[in-house]
Structure 1
Amino acid sequence: MNNPTAQKPPKAFDAFLMRIGQINYAWTNTESTLIHLMAGLIPTDTSTATVIHLTLNTTRARLDLVERLAKRQDCPVSKEAVSRIIAICKQMKKLSGLRNRLNHCLYAFDSDGGPVRSIQMRIADRKNSLAFGAETILDKAELAEIDRALGAIQTLNEDVWSVVFDYAMPQ
């Protein structure tokens, strides 16, 4: 007979799940601020920009749109604003890698006290084979990386709002 308490996740597992939830909340909140950049760059109202934002179903598509709007010849904002917007998009793309890695995996723990780990749910096509199920140990270094990313996402949120306010984009 199995011991029902043997399947209880370790406290470290709960800490990682909490951080991943915080990353998701911060990311979704920050990604939604792209609506205001879209509204200022098109230019349009936030209701129309929201429809555009929701119609684009990936972060990458939304970031590509914002960057392309900023780079066009007849962009309605200053060169300084364009530089700041492109820097924001570049940083968001960089951080999206960690967020995607954390969201597109399974999480596992060893009931015998082994390390908490993530298992990637992505197929990598190789020349003559497939690779999948890459594991990452979720240790203190990984937790520190998640905390660093969380701080960077929060800073990005502030940066977007700064651009929106500094250049009087629709709120």
Structure 2
Amino acid sequence: MAHIPPPPDFASIEAAAPKTAEQRSRVLALIGNIVFSWSNNESLFIYVLSILLATDEVSAAIVFTTLNTTRARLDLIQRLAKVKIRDPDVAAELDKLIARFNKASRVRNEFNHCLYTVGETGEITHTQTMKLQEVRGHLRWGEMKPMDEMRLKQISKAIADLTKLNRDIWSFLPRLQAACGAKAPARRNGTAGKTDE
């Protein structure tokens, strides 16, 4: 028989929740910011793909979105880079940018795919990962981590890293064009993929 935990005392939590609204707002703002920053950085790889394929933004976006995972999109970019980029320094720089994005992705994924635990007064106290872990030969569901000050600083650091990465990708695009001998990809506006702090 499956063990189902008792339901929370929703009425009690809702009555106490106004006292912890500031903590929840801070946590949710950080999570929203990391999702926003990550998504805008991922979208910049459409321009990388546009240069590598020597095509326009819309065509590159069609190819990009037809692949349904970030990993598949970045794999395609890295494979194309091997045959399109003539300058080894530019190729190495692209690999480093992708590695930085992947590092930030791990933090984003952790908060995008987890179960959040709410305390008796409505504060967000823990996350539980949605991954299975094997411990001493037994499968266990989801590592629990506290949503403490150190954890919030980890999210803030990931956001700062994504903001810096965004600027670095923008400055990399002209060097990529030169290394591929491609024309600048046509853009509909000047704000796509831009991350603001």
Structure 1 length-normalised TM:
0.87
Asked if 1:80 corresponds to 2:89, the answer is yes
TM-superposition CA deviations, 1:94-133 (whole Å, max 9, x none): 1111111110002122115876111112223567432113
Partner of 1:153 in structure 2? Answer: 162
SS of residue matched to 2:115: strand
Q: CA deviation at 1:79?
A: 2.3
2:38 to 27, 30, 46: 27
1:170 to 165, 182, 185: 185
Partner of 2:130 in structure 1? Answer: 121
Residues 42-81 of structure 1 correspond to what in structure 2 (within 5 A)? 42-72=53-83, 75-81=84-90
Query: Structure 1: where are the runs of 5+ without partners?
Result: none
Seq. identity, %: 31
Output the aligned Cα RMSD.
Answer: 2.3
SS of residue matched to 2:58: helix
Partner of 2:193 in structure 1? Answer: none
Partner of 1:135 in structure 2? Answer: 144
Larger RCO of the pair (alpha carbons < 8 Å, separation 6+): 2
Partner of 1:91 in structure 2? Answer: 100
Would the aligned equivalents of 1:37 and 1:164 in 2 still touch at CA under 8 Å?
A: yes
1:105 to 114, 134, 149: 114
Partner of 2:194 in structure 1? Answer: none
Distance 1:85 1:149 in 2: 19
Structure 2 length-normalised TM:
0.76
Partner of 2:23 in structure 1? Answer: 12
Q: CA deviation at 1:141?
A: 0.8
Would the aligned equivalents of 1:8 and 1:111 in 2 still touch at CA under 8 Å?
A: no
Specify whether residues 64 and 143 from structure 1 end up closer, same or farther in structure 2 by C-alpha distance, changes over 3 A only.
Answer: same
Would the aligned equivalents of 1:117 and 1:138 in 2 still touch at CA under 8 Å?
A: yes
| Greater C-alpha radius of gyration | 2
SS of residue matched to 2:76: helix
Specify whether residues 151 and 102 from structure 1 end up closer, same or farther in structure 2 by C-alpha distance, changes over 3 A only.
Answer: same
Would the aligned equivalents of 1:9 and 1:111 in 2 still touch at CA under 8 Å?
A: no
Would the aligned equivalents of 1:115 and 1:138 in 2 still touch at CA under 8 Å?
A: yes
Query: Structure 2: where are the runs of 5+ without partners?
Result: 1-8, 178-183, 187-197
Asked if 1:41 corresponds to 2:52, the answer is yes
Distance 1:28 1:20 in 2: 12
Distance 2:68 2:133 in 1: 23
Quick check: 119-128 or 42-51, which moved more? 119-128
